[in-house]
Amino acid sequence: MNVVVVGAGIAGLACAAELAAAGVRVRVHERGPRVGGRLAVDSLGGRYADIGAAYLVADDPDFADVARRWRDRGLARPWTDTLAVFQGRLPGQPAAGPVRWAAPGGLRSLAEDLATGLDVVLNSELDAVPPDADAVVLAMPGPQALRLRPPAAVADAARAQAWEPVLTAVCAYPRRSWPGFRGAFVNDHPVLATVCDDGDRRGDLAPVLVAHSTAGFARPRLDDPDAAGGELAAAVNDLLGLDERPEVRVHRWTYARPSSPGTPPFVTDGRVWLAGDAFGRPRVQTAWLSGRAAGRAVIQSTER
C-alpha cells in the first residue's frame, strides 16, 4: 500500500508515524522548509522563540504518555497550570487550569522528534491530491486542503471549517523589566489575545515576550503584517506598564484557530482523509489525536 500524507504539522506526523509503525509505506509532503506547522519558531537576535502554539496540554492519556516520554528525554517540561488574566487593560484573577507544557528547544523540536525516521519531503508543494496513491491524508486546515481539489465529500467538510487569523509579535527587550508572570489571557482587548513570557516558557529567562493578536486586529493587516509591529509592541507595553522599546518581529497566521471545530476526528471518502486540529478543541493534542486516528483508519481500510 502506498500512502501520501500532505502536511508535516503534528497531525500529519502523528498519522505518518502510526502508519510507519504498522509497516505501511508512507511519504509526507511538506510545502515549507521545516516540519512542525504551527509548532513554529522564529529567530530574533540569534535566539529562537515560539511563534505558533503557545504551549501544549496533555490531558488525554495517550498524548500524556507522549509528553512524558518527551519529558524523560529533556525535550519537554511541565511549565505552568496558572496563567494571568487581563480584562481589557486591567489585571484580573489568575486562571488555574491544566498543566501547560513547553519545550526548552522550542515546540518545533517536538515535531522534529516525531519526524525522526519518517520519509518527509520538504519544500514539496502539491497542487492536487496525488492520483496514484492508495490513500491520501490531508493534514491541514480545510481552506488549504481545497487547493488540492479533494473529492466532494472531503471538500464539503473543508468548506464547512471557519478559521480565525492571528498576528504573532516577538518582542525582544534590552532587559527583563515586567512584573512576574508566565503568560496571560487578555480578554476584551482591541489588539491582544495572549502574551507569554518566552524566557520563562523556554527556561532561559531571555527578555522576550510573545504576543498573539485578536482575529479582529489581524484580519485587515494580513497583507502587510510587518507594519503592525509597532502597534503590537505598543499594546504589550501599555498592558504591562513597560517603557523600553523592543525589537519586534511579526509573523502572520492566516489559519491560526478553527472557530467552528468539528466533532469526528477526521472526514474521509474512503481514499482521501482530512485531519487536523479543526476536529475538536484547537489544541496540539487535538491535532495529534486526529492524525493518529486517520492513520489507524487508513490501516483498517487495508485490512478489510
Q: Per residue in 194-245, pLDDT tens?
A: 999 999 999 999 999 999 999 999 999 999 999 999 999 999 999 999 999 9
CATH of the domain at 125: 3.50.50.60
- The answer on 207 and 128 residing in a single domain is no
- The answer on 254 and 155 residing in a single domain is no
Q: Which residues pair with 183 in a beta bridge?
A: 196
CATH of the domain at 183: 3.90.660.10
All cell numbers assigned to 283 = 489544541
- The answer on 111 and 239 residing in a single domain is no
Q: Residue 261 — pLDDT band, cuts 50, 70, 90?
A: low
Is 47 among the domain residues? no
Does the pTM surpass 0.85? The reply is yes
Q: Per residue in 71-108, pLDDT tens?
A: 999 999 999 999 999 998 888 888 899 999 999 999 99
The pair phi, psi for residue 293, each rounded to 5°, is -65, -40
Domain end call among 244, 259, 274: 259
Q: Per residue in 20-64, pLDDT tens?
A: 999 999 999 999 999 999 999 998 878 899 999 999 999 999 999
Residues of the chain with pLDDT > 90, as a percent, come to 89
pLDDT at 9 over 70: yes
Is 45 among the domain residues? no
Is 186 among the domain residues? yes
- The answer on 4 and 89 residing in a single domain is no
- The answer on 252 and 148 residing in a single domain is no
Q: Which of 60, 79, 76 shows the shortest CA–CA distance to 113?
A: 76
- The answer on 240 and 197 residing in a single domain is yes
Mean per-residue pLDDT over the chain, rounded: 95
- The answer on 132 and 19 residing in a single domain is yes
Domain count of the fold of the chain: 2
- The answer on 288 and 251 residing in a single domain is no
Range of the domain at 153: 1-40+107-161+260-304
Q: Is the dihedral of CA 83, 199, 170, 260 positive or negative?
A: negative
Q: What is the pLDDT of residue 7?
A: 98
